[in-house]
Amino acid sequence: MRKKRIMIIGPGGSGKTSLAHVINGFTGPARRTQNMVYGEKTLDVPGVYLESPWMHKHIIAAAQDASHVLMLVDQSSCRESYPPGFAKAFRVPVIGVITGCGEKPEHDGWCIRQLKKAGVREPYYHINLSERTGLQELMEALKY
């Protein structure tokens, strides 16, 4: 039986690889990811897979190895990233994560609307990786 991992998807620069490093306990520097990276506990999906609609089927297929899907939106950047209802394509729990919290709090409503439009149900987890805030709540939701 394959080991189930936490799939992390989101637009480029939203903190996917940095979050994967935290979950996997890796302390090295984060670098841009060109391919799917299978970590000990995570599956880090490059932002280009999400940004190219013809790659969506690859994300959905890879989710067969996932225990959860984390859909990230970046509070510091208001970019439309997910097609409507995209979260409903997954057969595992989908968790909405708002990254960069505190950087542009006026964008919080926009982030929540984007997650709702994508079909992600509440609660949404607000994290800031540089300040290490919100991670405990997210890890509890993932049962890690």
Residue-level pLDDT, tens digit, the chain, 144 residues? 567 999 999 999 899 999 999 999 887 776 777 889 999 999 999 999 998 999 999 999 999 989 999 999 999 888 889 999 999 999 999 999 999 877 788 889 999 999 999 999 999 999 998 888 999 999 999 985
What's residue 1's pLDDT? 53
What are the φ/ψ torsions at residue 79 (nearest 5 degrees)? -115, 130
What's residue 100's pLDDT? 87
What's residue 144's pLDDT? 59
What's residue 2's pLDDT? 65
What's residue 107's pLDDT? 87
Sole residue written with tokens 């993932």: 142
DSSP annotation string for the chain: -PPPEEEEE-STTSSHHHHHHHHHT--S-----SS-EE-SSEEE--HHHHHSGGGHHHHHHHGGGEEEEEEEEETT-----S-TTGGGG-SS-EEEEEESTTT-GGGHHHHHHHHHHTTPPSPEEE-BTTTTBSHHHHHHHHT-
Q: Which CATH number fits domain 5-142: 3.40.50.2300, 3.40.50.880, 1.10.260.40, 3.40.50.300?
A: 3.40.50.300
Q: Which residues, at least 6 apart from 72, have a Cβ–Cβ distance to it below 8 Å?
A: 8, 9, 10, 11, 14, 15, 16, 19, 97, 98, 99
What's residue 60's pLDDT? 96
